[in-house]
A and B are shown apart, each in its own frame.
Chain A
Amino acid sequence: MTTPTIERETERGTVLYAVEQPDTPWVTIVWNDPVNLQTYVTYVFKSYFGHSREEAERLMLLVHHEGRAVVASGGREEMERHVEAMHDYGLWATLAKDDA
């Protein structure tokens, strides 16, 4: 999804690349916690990210069973906004570089 963008940005040269590119692939990760209700986590994914019920439930179950799930990817600032929004909802979320 992001590979062509990276190559294009790289070809622009080192000066441009040294600046944080808005489409550098970052991800928002939601971590499992023993507190939040499954229905609430599903509701947050549905209402905040606009996911369908099916997709929201799939992500919720991924968090529950795997301990974490990537719920969004994109530029760093956008992921920071998502993380802040998740913290508003009381979900435990972090952001990281996609390759991290």
Chain B
Amino acid sequence: MIPFTRHGVLVIVRLSDLEAEVLRDLAGQLTELLGDRATTHEAPTDAGSAAALFAQLGIGGSTVAPLDPALARLLPDAYKNDLSASSEHRRLTEGGLVDRKIAHARLVVASLTSSPITLDEAAAQSWLRTLTDLRLTIASRLRIIDDGDEGTGDEALLDVYDWLGYLQGTLLDAIE
């Protein structure tokens, strides 16, 4: 059964109950992982400070790359050999990037509760991006470094990784 088929402007999703449960669980975990990052630089309580104003405007986040390699891959430095420019870019943009990734993952979780699952264009974009973020996260846990690399060789996790790739490939086929 092909998981995604185009029906006019909508994409119809067909997943088994187990597949839907796995995806819901993974997307939930991704939200938690990103949520940890979002709360590491919560808005300061001193309401009058410049930092509080920046936080209100959605800027003024962390300046340091995440230690967790999966988070570091999801939220990479914008400059390769310029730490101070990377820090400044991260301070201004990382909060928004994290918020958008969380919103996409939450939308995936929410759409999995409907039956049948239908995706409009925006929802399909959220699915594409969340499937990507999940694959990046799992690849990091598997320590996949090179093309064709199977990392630690954890078969169960590799199966999930390949399945997510299959989902993304068929979703792309349905969209294009």
Contact = CB atoms under 8 A, between A and B. Distances in A.
A60 interface: no
Contact of A34 (B101, B145, B176): B145
Given A29-B80, A43-B172, 8 more contacts: A35-B139, A36-B135, A40-B172, A43-B176, A88-B97, A90-B133, A93-B78, A94-B79
A89 B73 contact: no
Interface in A14-67: 29, 32-37, 39-40, 43, 64
Given A34-B139, A34-B147, A96-B80, A87 B75 contact: yes
Interface of B: 73-81, 89, 93, 96-97, 100-101, 128-129, 132-133, 135-136, 139, 144-149, 165, 168-169, 172, 175-176
B78 A84 contact: yes
Determine chain A's interface SS by DSSP, over half rule. mixed
Contacts of A94: 76-80
A37 B171 CA distance: 12
Contacts of B146: 34
Nearest to B96: A84
B52 to A, nearest CB: 24
A80 to B, nearest CB: 6
A62 to B, nearest CB: 15
